[in-house]
Amino acid sequence: MHIVIAGNIGSGKTTLTNLLVRHYGWMPRKESVADNPYLSDYYKDMKRWALNLEVFFLKERFRDLLEINHEKQVVVQDRSIYEGVYIFTANNHDMGNMSDNDYDTYMGLFESMMMVARMPDLMIYLRSSVPHLVDNIHKRGRDYEQNMQLNYLKNLNDRYDDFVTNHYPGRTLTIDVDNLDFQHSREDFAYIVKQIDTQLAEIEGREHTLFNKI
């Protein structure tokens, strides 16, 4: 089974991923942010480095998908390839950071990759307000994130809501995290686990039904 933790920058994806790994014993698949050689340069000059940044992320996430497809245990992934493409890359294109030709080439590459990929069984979307995101970003103190524009975060938030609500075809669980402290509160984490357990039971029940029909 493949589970994705989705959400904007600073929404708590990595923290929740770590907690779920500890709780369920799942295998983590972390986003390779620190390994992206273009990230720091991108936040200094988005138009120059956007294509390089997004192609690197696409390459890494596609490799993750291929490896996850061969795993026999449950994998929980910190951000999906779909978010990278339909939210972050689309936002870069609309902001003018990627030319139409570069964007079309990028999308052609992604569509070719999707011919051999399988969708996650569940996407858990951590929805957060921009002030909450900013607070978390400041707390974790990554240098390259500290000058991030509020409008940039808002655009990403709007795209997340639209994508998850109106366009993503897979199973989703949306959790509003503004008033949750699942890292430090057992009650808040238990609240999330209960919702996930309900989704897992429905997935397993559906798979059992389909298996019996075969």
Catalytic residue among 35, 45, 64, 78: 78
DSSP state of 84: I
Classify residue 46 by burial, with Cβ atoms within 10 Å: 0-12, 13-18, 19+.
middle
Classify residue 205 by burial, with Cβ atoms within 10 Å: 0-12, 13-18, 19+.
exposed
Per DSSP bridges, beta strands 122-127 and 75-78 are: unpaired
Say if CB 124 and CB 175 are below 8 A apart.
yes
Q: Would you call 41 a catalytic residue per the annotation?
A: no
Residue type for 103, please? Y
Q: Name the strand (E) or helix (H) holding 174.
A: strand 172-176
Q: Coil, helix or strand for 176?
A: strand
Distance CA 95, CA 154 (A): 13
> How wide is the angle at C-alpha 180 spanned by C-alphas 179 and 185, nearest 5°?
140
- Residue 135 Cα distances to 178, 190, 196, angstroms: 11, 23, 26
DSSP state of 26: P
Q: Which residues are known to be catalytic?
A: 78
